[in-house]
């Protein structure tokens, strides 16, 4: 297991080895490196998850599941639908699978059924008959709409729902807190951040240093 600080320090040592490996703080700002590590972690986990889905595997990094309670808002009278506003933007995955599950708090093992938004809009709901009295949902922008007004259903009146999103905000973790990632992800992150740094202005300092050593 590793932390953001350990990864950032390793990247700084690797990058600064040709300049002054004993005083890496004079070459790279560790705060900026930690920001790059956080961004790279999200990028690498998204790519790995998407590749798993393409290969037919629906295993997901459980550390990326964020569960939030969201209040349900009823639409205008006569529309018979309700919606929630997402608390965070999930990973952009096929079939909107970044929204992993939506359930009523009283029915955690009876998730609502995801539907392609374009089908619901084009067919005006006529294609959702296969739901057989179940309630579906579809994504539009930052809002998730339900095919029925779940605040008015006779069996269970729902005022809020639990939403599981595939997302990980690594900023919420302390710099020295263990990262919930597998070992192979660590090397992918190091290589990705090193590539970013090598394309930046800091790389010019390394070039100039090497030239001075050659003279």
pLDDT confidence of residue 98: 83
- The token duo for 126 is 């006529």
Q: Is the pLDDT of residue 124 over 60?
A: no
Query: Rounded mean pLDDT of the chain?
Result: 77
- Residue 164 pairs in a beta bridge with 67, 101
Q: Name residues whose C-beta falls within 8 Å of residue 89's C-beta, 6 or more positions apart in sequence.
A: 142, 167
* Structural contact between residues 4 and 179, judged by C-beta atoms closer than 8 angstroms: yes
SS3 content of the chain, % helix, strand, coil (to 5): 45, 20, 40
pLDDT confidence of residue 210: 47
Q: Distance from CA of residue 111 to its chain's centroid?
A: 21
* Span 61-75, pLDDT tens digits: 655 677 889 999 988
Q: Name residues whose C-beta falls within 8 Å of residue 139's C-beta, 6 or more positions apart in sequence.
A: 96, 99, 117, 145
Half-sphere exposure of 145 (CA within 13 A, CB side): 17
pLDDT confidence of residue 134: 80
Reported confidence tier of residue 83, pLDDT bands at 50, 70, 90:
very high
Looking only at Cα atoms, what is the longest distance across the chain?
Answer: 83
| 3-state secondary structure (DSSP) of residue 82 | strand
* Span 126-163, pLDDT tens digits: 455 455 668 889 998 899 999 888 888 656 678 999 99
Cα 31 from Cα 146, distance rounded (Å): 42
Classified by CATH at the fold level, domain 62-166 comes out as Elongation Factor Tu (Ef-tu); domain 3 (2.40.30)
Interaxial angle between packed helices 30-54 and 183-198, expressed in degrees from 0 to 180 and rounded to the nearest 10: 120
Q: Where in the chain is the domain with CATH 2.40.30?
A: 62-166
DSSP character at residue 104: B
Q: Is the pLDDT of residue 85 over 90?
A: yes
Q: Is the pLDDT of residue 51 over 80?
A: no
- pTM for this prediction: 0.64
């Amino acid at each position: 297991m590793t932390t953001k600080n350990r990864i950032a320090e390793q990247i700084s040592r690797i990058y600064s080895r040709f300049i002054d490996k004993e005083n890496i703080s004079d070459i790279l700002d560790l705060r900026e490196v930690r920001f790059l590590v956080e961004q790279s972690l999200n990028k690498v986990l998204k790519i790995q998850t998407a590749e798993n889905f393409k290969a037919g595997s629906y295993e997901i990094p459980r550390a990326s599941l964020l569960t939030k309670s969201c209040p349900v808002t009823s639409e205008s009278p006569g529309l018979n639908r309700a919606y929630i506003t997402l608390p965070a933007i999930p990973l952009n995955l096929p079939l909107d699978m970044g929204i992993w599950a939506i359930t009523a708090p009283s029915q955690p093992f009876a998730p609502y059924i995801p539907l392609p938004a374009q089908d619901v809009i084009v067919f005006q709901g006529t294609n959702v008959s296969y739901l057989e009295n179940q309630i579906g949902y579809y994504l539009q922008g930052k809002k998730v709409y339900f095919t029925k007004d779940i605040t008015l259903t006779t069996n269970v009146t729902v005022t809020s729902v639990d939403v599981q999103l595939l997302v990980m905000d690594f900023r919420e973790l302390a710099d020295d807190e263990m990262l919930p990632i597998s070992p192979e992800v660590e090397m992918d992150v190091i290589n990705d951040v090193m590539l970013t740094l090598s394309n930046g202005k800091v790389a010019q300092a390394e070039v100039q240093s090497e030239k001075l050593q050659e003279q």
